[in-house]
Structure 1
Amino acid sequence: MKKVNRRDFLKTAVGTAALASATGALSGCSTTQHTSSTSNKPSQQGKSVMGLVVDKMDVVRVGFIGVGQRGIGHVKHYCVLDGVEIKAICDTHQEVLDRAVDHVAEQGRPKPTAYTGSEHAYREMLARDDIDIVIISTPWAWHTPMCVETMESGKHAFVEVPAATSIEECWQLVDTAERTQKNCMMMENVNYGRDELMVLNMVRQGLFGDLVHGEAAYIHDLRWQMKEIDHKTGSWRTYWHTKKNGNLYPTHGLGPVSQYMNINRGDRFDYVTSVSSPALGRAAYAKREFDSEHERNSLNFVAGDMNTSIIKTVNGRSIMVQHDTTSPRPYTRHNLIQGTNGTFAGFPNCIAVETPPPAIKAIYEAQHEQALKAWHDGGEQGRKPYPPSFHGWDRDMEKWRKHYDHPLYTRMGEEAKRNGGHGGMDFLMNYRIIYCLRNGEPLDQDVYDAAAWSSIFPLSVASVDNRSNSQDVPDFTRGAWKTGQPLPIIS
């Protein structure tokens, strides 16, 4: 890695942060108007990073910014991955910083340098020249500024979701990645879930025919986070519900559907329209759970309990994206993909296809024969069994997994489950990051994915604010989506 002059970097970082602060990037309460028109596309400052491959790294030297609820999980994974050295960890909360540093040492690894003392202590870490990548797990308002400074310091940035909260920030990420030729990957862990990997494999093998529609969601009752006052996610995330009315968190469901549809690699988002329900649930929860004088009861919640956004792609497909972290209902990401030959839907998993593959068709036919025999043996009482068809959901996923489990999960699934992280998906994601860097392969997700998937947050807000009129999604790839190669089925 090119050696970075520490004094020059710190001087540049201060200037970068000043600019970001001026535009509201560092403030979760920013009221900056989010422009959505593609006419505001900035001039390219570097060259495309589509399919970016960097020099192979025998050892990947890692620094962490933020090791609270998400970050500590990443620290634990990098402690068990081969070819990794954990050099430094930064956090403003001494307790979680000590926990992470001690964990690394307890695994028999050299004790990493700790950075704390101010909200900009991470800059001292970025000024080092012995770190290759930085894992960023901080509150949303810090994601883009920290990514930009990481890339400017000569390091690759890996950031939790969403990567950006405004269209301006999306372009900052793209521009900086292209100018510095550094990776900026949003760590969308759900793309590495077993079911999502399996469906990607199904899509690549053409099981559903030509794709026409997808559905994605993050429906997860998180009202309890409002009780996290001084630390943890609720201490800062609660306030986003008082500032923005739209889909505040689109990427968990949208990431996998985007990869199914080859978004930014043969297709791209064209425009989005969005509508929100009334914002009632969080105020009701605060009234029930907190004293009347508590600060939570003084908040004006504006984010609708349910937001529904519809994305149209350039190739004409539609994607429904929903967000609800307020209502008392079961968790779902929908994970629905529909094509000319059938549909897969998640939560719970079910599938219906018009023309199943031969192996599955044989199973269906054998099951139908058994049902017919039982009907005859029973004296032909009741309704004659219908032959299997797409008019009913098949909820028995074991036979489908046998034929379509993703090779990565087949090979690494047990190890992923042992190491944990949302059932192993976090571990698989971190494993793939290190594998690609050590083997000189492009990452599974790039800065254009980070920008496009994250952009639905501010664009949905702009649409809701404008009577649900559609908002253009910028072409963050600057035309490279037309020749971008779909994500392959890796092993």
Structure 2
Amino acid sequence: MSEINRRKFLKAGLTAAAVATAAGCSTAASIRASAKAGPRAKGQQSVAGLVVPRMETVRVGLIGLGQRGVGHVAHFANLDGVDIKAICDTDQQVLDRAFNIVVKTGRPKPATYGKDEYSYRELLDRNDIDIVIISTPWRWHTPMAVDAMLRDKHAMVEVPAATTLEECWLLVDTAEKTQKNCMMMENCCYGRDELMALNLVRMGMLGDLLHGEGAYLHELRWQMKEIDRMTGSWRTKWHTLRDANLYPTHGLGPIAQYMGVNRGDRFDYLSSMSSPALGRAQYAKREFPADHPLNQAKYICGDMNTSLIKTVKGRTIMVQHDTTTPRPYSRRNLIMGTNGVFAGYPNRIALEEGGRKEYEEWDFDMDYWHGKYDHPLWRRMGREAEHAGGHGGMDFLMLWRMVYCLRNGQPLDQDVYDAAALSSVTALSEASVADRGNSKDFPDFTRGGWQTREPLGIVS
């Protein structure tokens, strides 16, 4: 794109996204308008199955070096075929930490940026970077990803990739315009158990798929004490802005892959309800002085949000979000078919045919099932992934797989249509909650392309 056209495209898109994000909600009119998939603009074409020229070395720039970003730096510093060219963060402390991680591995010193919140554009203006890893607060994900693609970089962005339907469409349109990858880095798709469940599904062990359940049940009230820096310094604010499923992708991502969402099926519509928002106000009252700003805030995000999704093929998915109530961690990870079910937390399986027990009784012995049905990707790299760490190895495996695909001229496992579909749950759940749980239609971000795509094929 010419510089003038790039500026116009970026300004128009980011203005709309910024307005929607600043409002903290999606109006009924914007939901209806954004749910309609119009024809592609001139110069755009699908990026489904996008293959880019092989990269002998993947040259990486990283924006955002907090708790997630610094972990990515450590993994990339220990991967072959990777060159960390530049890093960026406005917090000098984390910038120095990431810099030292790279240098201690014996790699060349990366360039550093961080003078102000727009210094990331200096990194993007470099011509020696192929992919950009974006691990910043949520409100920056779409603007930075769009900016990266418009500057001829592939954008790999943390979850969620977008916070509004307008941002979802902006990601899709920009990727199609620039023919650049925009991958939302949903690491839970690379967990050992999620990969095994995908293998079981692809082998037909569960029969025809009927229903799935995913969740993010993770008590995070303690982040409210991160006032000036770290994740809580910005994440807590979202509980005062939106009554929605704020973080849907960890539980939903693997379920979407099992069901072939955007590859033979797609999300059709969603209905959502929230419980009262009580827990964070009570926690603030207990843990902070009465005159503290956190005791003056109005928390509106229901402590538990439950959303139900119907797919075009008629399958159902339950997605839940709760980062407030005291409870054990869970992503649910349940997938059900006509021959049985696999469920997580704890892992268990029950099959009518092919199981080791009668289907009325759970089989909790995962050593047997891992030994027989571990995904080929985990068989190949699982030991190294577990040694490298990062949520049980899933972080390392995700980055390794990304680099492998780019170096070998293969499409990435997750694309911009997945990023948009999964991220759109927040806006749609917000609109449904505000409308007494009435259903809201998902946009078809693929513009019909889902009907002819094959399910994810990494099993083979």
TM-score interval for Structure 1 and Structure 2 normalised by the shorter chain? over 0.9
The alpha carbon displacement at 1:118 in A equals 0.8
Q: Which of 109, 112, 124 lines up with 2:110 in the alignment?
A: 112
The alpha carbon displacement at 1:40 in A equals 3.3
Q: Which of 426, 445, 448 lines up with 1:457 in the alignment?
A: 426
Asked whether the 8 Å contact 1:64–1:136 carries over to 2, the reply is: yes
Asked whether the 8 Å contact 2:36–2:444 carries over to 1, the reply is: no
CA–CA separation in structure 1 for the residues paired with 2:227 and 2:37: 39
Cα displacement string for residues 157-184 of structure 1 (whole angstroms, at most 9, x for unaligned residues)? 0000000000000000000000100000
Q: 2:31 maps to what in 1? A: 35
Q: Report the AA paired with residue 195 of structure 2.
A: L
Matches within 5 A, 1:8-407: 8=3, 12=6, 16=10, 20-21=14-15, 23-24=17-18, 27=21, 30-33=24-27, 34-36=30-32, 40-45=36-41, 46-356=44-354, 364=356, 388-407=357-376
- Taking a change above 3 Å as real, the CA distance of residues 57 and 150 of structure 1, as seen in their structure-2 partners, is same
The alpha carbon displacement at 1:440 in A equals 0.2
Percent identity among equivalent residues?
A: 62
The alpha carbon displacement at 1:21 in A equals 4.2
The alpha carbon displacement at 1:191 in A equals 0.3
Aligned pair 1:443/2:437, yes or no?
A: no
The alpha carbon displacement at 1:23 in A equals 4.2
Q: Unmatched 5+ residue regions in structure 2?
A: none
- Give me the CA root mean square deviation: 1.7
- Taking a change above 3 Å as real, the CA distance of residues 415 and 72 of structure 1, as seen in their structure-2 partners, is same
CA–CA separation in structure 2 for the residues paired with 1:396 and 1:15: 54
CA–CA separation in structure 2 for the residues paired with 1:148 and 1:288: 42
CA–CA separation in structure 2 for the residues paired with 1:225 and 1:239: 11
- Taking a change above 3 Å as real, the CA distance of residues 342 and 39 of structure 1, as seen in their structure-2 partners, is closer
Q: Report the AA paired with residue 193 of structure 1.
A: G
Q: Unmatched 5+ residue regions in structure 1?
A: 365-387
Asked whether the 8 Å contact 1:47–1:178 carries over to 2, the reply is: yes
Q: Secondary structure at the match of 2:77?
A: helix
Q: 1:371 maps to what in 2? A: none
Q: Secondary structure at the match of 1:24?
A: helix
TM, length-normalised to structure 1: 0.90
Cα displacement string for residues 421-456 of structure 1 (whole angstroms, at most 9, x for unaligned residues)? 001000000000000000000000000000001100
Cα displacement string for residues 5-52 of structure 1 (whole angstroms, at most 9, x for unaligned residues)? 9xx48x955973575245426955534524145663243131100000
CA–CA separation in structure 2 for the residues paired with 1:177 and 1:18: 16
Q: Report the AA paired with residue 37 of structure 2.
A: K
Asked whether the 8 Å contact 2:309–2:316 carries over to 1, the reply is: yes
The alpha carbon displacement at 1:400 in A equals 1.0
CA–CA separation in structure 1 for the residues paired with 2:254 and 2:202: 13
The number of residues matched between the two structures is 456
CA–CA separation in structure 2 for the residues paired with 1:299 and 1:316: 41
Q: Secondary structure at the match of 1:451?
A: helix
- Taking a change above 3 Å as real, the CA distance of residues 115 and 26 of structure 1, as seen in their structure-2 partners, is farther
Asked whether the 8 Å contact 2:190–2:398 carries over to 1, the reply is: yes
- Taking a change above 3 Å as real, the CA distance of residues 414 and 13 of structure 1, as seen in their structure-2 partners, is farther
CA–CA separation in structure 2 for the residues paired with 1:291 and 1:449: 43
Asked whether the 8 Å contact 1:13–1:149 carries over to 2, the reply is: no
Aligned pair 1:477/2:421, yes or no?
A: no
Q: Report the AA paired with residue 324 of structure 2.
A: T
Q: Report the AA paired with residue 466 of structure 1.
A: D
Cα displacement string for residues 166-215 of structure 1 (whole angstroms, at most 9, x for unaligned residues)? 00000000000001000000000000000000000000000000000000
- Taking a change above 3 Å as real, the CA distance of residues 30 and 24 of structure 1, as seen in their structure-2 partners, is farther
CA–CA separation in structure 2 for the residues paired with 1:40 and 1:161: 24
CA–CA separation in structure 1 for the residues paired with 2:21 and 2:123: 22
Structure whose alpha-carbon radius of gyration is higher: 1
